[in-house]
């Protein structure tokens, strides 16, 4: 097993200025593992769903090498449900409904068969729960990536500070970075957050791309300019899944290789935006991914002599 | 003479969330020519000022090879004056005062000594005036770049359409591109605007970088993530001056060379943000510029094998 992802498997109802879909398959761990399945043959899912979650979708995931020994199915209960509405810019959204359901009592159990995976992704969960997942690995995985959100900065600051000290990469969005650091400048924000513990910081800016910070180095990858963004839900998790999946495949955690992983993550995220839910992740193949990465090369690479 | 710039030379009063300065030297043509002076020895300014404009600043410009035969000084009148206030994000602003003063009757005259310049920049002016400037060149310059703004889309659409058909590059910001095309997606907007006439389109996104479109090609350059943005006024004009200055220096108008020019423009714009007004453009030297360009190389360049 190359990669373990802990996080939500859920339903989303999504409204954009152009369309609306009810109860689409969603959840961070869904996007992460489906994306990573394009890079690693075997990954492990740690999550919880209710009995309402479609077994055929779980079978599709299993066929993509996503082990479900760590997935708890709670009979008589409902899966986590989120509903949101995107603004006209498709880059910001309002949450309409959050029904925790099975997530309210989620106590993730990492199966013994998962504990040798070199790469661990801790999805956005209660920080103390993220710590408990790390505690279940007899040996810390070689590379740990975690996500969080502003809510935990408000209600669980100390637990959040405890867990970010234990990870390699913290991945958050620009507003979360500003809230966490109390700095508007992302450069200043990154310095403060790196001083809080993580070795690397990824700041996601949605349609404006992503920044990777490490010590005094910084790398930037744009989002691919798309003709149509149908649904950006899951793009950030897809980015994380592509980033971690590429690192799990190559097992090279240098800054240079992380740049490549950021580009891979950005390329994968661009697919997710093309349809509602994780649909595109089930359709694309290696040729599609390579063609998309080639688009990134021509989008940003230049060759300059000093002037 | 390698480059001619037509546009404002003015005073700006600028308020940011952190500081305030009254009557700083400003104006698009000021930023453009000062920036270009780092790349070409000789350029020509076409503009108008009142008798209030400081002659020592004009002397500084002249010392940098900026010919002022095309600069009209109207005695007894006042220079163009703009005042604005930046929002907390430093990427958006409100205009507080626009006193056209000498600009109200500006009728640019291109001196004969300017008419062999290969590169012409038409700053944001009445579209019919931009056309009249082009008319004054017996032979169209090899490369023409123009700026415009939403106001002219509202009040002079037909004149705007007439002039953009005559230029190589139209340079506008993202909101202007959306207004001009009635498309939210910048990819769709670019297709529509390119169909209106210009061969190339630059869409400036402020702190989120800039896009260059040509036929089906697209190139993206980020803005340099800065620790402190003191004053972004003039950053867009500095970008245009660096872009056009680099092209005037190299006289290579290929898409590949335009990518380099976009990076040079982005690097130059990052200096302008570091102090109020065009101050940094008077301080920096070739080593500073090369060091800044090297930062862009490490910020965005990566080397990837297909996955």
Distance in Å, alpha carbon of B301 to nearest chain A alpha carbon: 6
Beta strands in chain A (DSSP E): 3-6, 10-15, 20-26, 43-50, 66-74, 80-86, 93-99, 119-122, 143-147, 169-173, 200-204, 210-214, 217-221
For residue B304, the chain A residues in CB contact (below 8 A) are 260, 263-264, 293, 297
Average confidence (pLDDT) over A51-58: 98
Q: How far apart are CA A264 and CA A260, in angstroms?
A: 6
Task: For residue A90, list chain B residues with Cβ-Cβ distance below 8 A.
Answer: 184
pLDDT over threshold 80, residue A307:
no
- Which of B184, B226, B286 is nearest residue A187 as measured by Cβ atoms? B226
Question: A 155-194 residues with CB below 8 A of B?
Answer: 184-188
Q: What's the CA gap between B27 and B30, in Å, rounded?
A: 5
Host H or E run for residue B174: helix B174-181
Average pLDDT over residues B148-176: 97
Residues of chain A in contact with residue B262, where contact means CB-CB under 8 angstroms, are 302
| CB atoms inside a 10 Å sphere around CB B203 | 26
Q: Are A247 and A237 in contact (CB under 8 A)?
A: no
Q: Which of B226, B289, B302 sits opposite A185 (nearest CB)?
A: B226
pLDDT band at B89 (very low <50, low <70, confident <90, very high): confident
pLDDT tens digits, residue range B38-51? 999 999 999 999 99
Instruction: Say if CB A148 and CB A172 are below 8 A apart.
Output: yes
* Half-sphere exposure (Cβ direction) of A113: Cα atoms closer than 13 Å: 11
Q: Is A307–B290 a contact, with Cβ atoms under 8 angstroms apart?
A: yes
- d(CA A66, CA A5) in angstroms, rounded, equals 10
Three-class secondary structure of residue A274 per DSSP: coil
| Mean predicted confidence (pLDDT) in B14-34 | 97
Task: Report CB contact under 8 Å: A263, B302.
Answer: yes
Segment A264-293 mean pLDDT: 97
Give the B window 223-262 contacts with A, CB below 8 Å. Answer: 225-229, 246, 249, 256, 259-260, 262
Q: How far is A152 from chain B (nearest CA, A)?
A: 24
The answer to whether the CB atoms of A302 and B209 lie below 8 A apart is no
Cβ-defined contacts of A132-140 (< 8 Å, 24+) = A132/A107, A132/A108, A133/A6, A133/A46, A133/A108, A134/A163, A134/A166, A136/A109, A136/A110, A137/A110, A139/A115, A140/A166
Torsion over CA of B193, B197, B201 and B203, rounded to 10 degrees?
-40
What is the model's pLDDT at position A66?
A: 98
Which residues of B53-142 form beta strands (DSSP E)? 66-74, 80-86, 93-99, 119-122
* Domains, chain A, ordered by start: 3-300 (3.40.1190.20)
Q: Give the nearest partner residue to B290 out of A256, A299, A306, using CB atoms.
A: A306
Min Cα distance B205 → chain A (Å) is 9
Distance from CA of B13 to the nearest CA of A (A): 23
Distance (Å) from the C-alpha of residue A302 to the closest C-alpha of chain B?
6
pLDDT at B86: 95
| pLDDT score of B182 more than 80 | yes
Confidence of residue B307 (pLDDT cuts 50, 70, 90): low
Pairwise CA distance, residues A21 & A85, whole Å:
11
CB spacing of B219 vs A307 below 8 angstroms: no
- Chain A contact probe: residue of B194, B211, B225 with most A CBs at under 10 A: B225
Mean pLDDT score, B111-130: 97
Token readout for A88 is 């006209």
A137 in reach of chain B (CB within 8 A): no
pLDDT of residue A88: 85
Average of pLDDT values for A269-285?
A: 97
Closest to A218 (Cβ–Cβ): which among B187, B299, B304?
Answer: B299
- Given a cut of 70, is residue B137 above it in pLDDT? yes
User: Under an 8 A CB cutoff, do B263 and A302 touch?
Assistant: yes
Confidence (pLDDT) at B303: 87
**pLDDT grade for A39, boundaries at 50, 70 and 90:** very high
Q: Is B209 on the interface with A (CB under 8 A)?
A: yes
β-sheet bridge partners, residue B12: B24, B82
Residues of B in contact with A254 (CB under 8 A): none
pLDDT digits (tens, 9 = 90+) for A187-226: 999 999 999 999 999 999 999 999 999 999 999 999 999 9
ipTM of the complex: 0.91
Task: Compare all CA atoms of chain B with the CA of A230 and give the residue at the minimum distance.
Answer: B185
Percent residues over pLDDT 70 in chain B: 99
Mean pLDDT of chain A: 96
Q: Considering only CB atoms, which chain A residues are within 8 Å of B217?
A: 298
DSSP label at A98? E
Residue A279 Cα, gap to closest chain B Cα (Å): 21
A89 versus A61: which is more confidently predicted?
A61
The chain A residue lying nearest B299, using CA atoms, is: A219
For residue B90, what pLDDT is reported? 86
Contact B302 A303 (CB under 8 A): no
Question: A91 pLDDT band (50/70/90 cuts)?
Answer: confident
Rounded to 5 degrees, what angle do the CA atoms A126, A193, B204 make?
110
Instruction: Identify the residue whose tokens are 């770049």.
Output: B145
Task: List pLDDT tens digits, range A20-36.
Answer: 999 999 999 999 999 99
Calculate the average pLDDT of chain B: 96
Least CB–CB distance from B301: residue in A222, A229, A301 = A301
**A135-145 residue pLDDT tens:** 999 999 999 99
Give me the pLDDT at residue A99, please. 95
CB contact under 8 A, B303 and A188: no
Å between B243 CA and nearest CA of chain A: 12
Residue B81 has what pLDDT? 97
Q: Measure in Å the smallest separation between the Cα of A290 and chain B Cα atoms.
A: 6
Structure tokens at B39: 């790349």
Q: In the predicted model, is pLDDT for residue A246 greater than 70?
A: yes
Which residue, A4, A27, A41, A250, is CA-closest to A124?
Answer: A27
Q: For A154-164, what is the mean pLDDT? A: 97
Q: Is B304 on the interface with A (CB under 8 A)?
A: yes
Q: What is the nearest CA distance from A292 to chain B, expressed in angstroms?
A: 10
Mean pLDDT, rounded, for B236-240: 97
Give me the sign of the Cα torsion angle B247, B251, B255, B259.
negative
Q: What is the pLDDT of residue B189?
A: 98
Mean pLDDT of B272-278: 97
Burial code of A61-78, b = ≥16 C-beta within 10 A, e = fewer? Answer: beebbbbbebbebbeeeb
The per-residue pLDDT for A111 is: 98
Write out chain B residues lying below 8 Å of A187, CB-based: 225-227
């Amino acid at each position: 097993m190359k990669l373990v992802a802990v996080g939500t498997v859920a339903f989303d109802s999504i409204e954009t200025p152009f369309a609306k879909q009810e109860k689409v398959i969603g959840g961070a761990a869904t996007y992460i593992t489906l994306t990573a399945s394009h890079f690693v043959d075997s990954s492990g899912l740690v999550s919880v769903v209710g009995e309402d979650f479609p077994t055929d979708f779980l079978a599709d995931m299993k066929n993509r090498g996503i082990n479900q020994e760590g997935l708890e199915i709670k009979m008589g209960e409902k899966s986590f449900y989120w509903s949101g509405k995107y603004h006209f810019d498709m880059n910001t959204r309002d949450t309409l409904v959050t029904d925790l359901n099975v997530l309210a009592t989620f106590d993730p159990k990492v199966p013994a068969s998962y504990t040798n995976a070199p790469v661990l992704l801790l999805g956005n969960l209660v920080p103390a729960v993220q710590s408990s997942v790390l505690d279940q690995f007899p040996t810390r995985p070689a590379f740990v990536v975690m996500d969080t959100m502003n809510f935990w900065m408000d209600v669980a600051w100390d637990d959040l500070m405890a867990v970010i000290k234990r990870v390699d990469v913290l991945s958050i969005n620009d507003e979360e970075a500003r809230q966490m650091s109390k700095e508007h400048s992302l450069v200043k924000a990154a310095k403060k957050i790196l001083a809080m513990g993580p070795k690397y910081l990824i700041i996601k800016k949605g349609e404006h791309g992503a920044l990777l910070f490490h010590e005094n180095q910084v790398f930037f990858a744009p989002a691919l300019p798309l003709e149509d963004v149908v649904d950006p839900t899951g793009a950030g998790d897809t980015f994380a899944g592509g980033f971690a999946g590429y690192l799990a495949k190559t097992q090279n955690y240098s800054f240079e290789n992380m740049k490549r992983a950021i580009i891979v993550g950005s390329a994968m995220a661009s697919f997710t935006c093309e349809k509602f839910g994780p649909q595109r992740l089930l359709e694309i193949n290696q040729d599609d991914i390579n063609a998309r990465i080639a688009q990134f090369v021509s989008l940003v690479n230049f060759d300059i002599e000093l002037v």
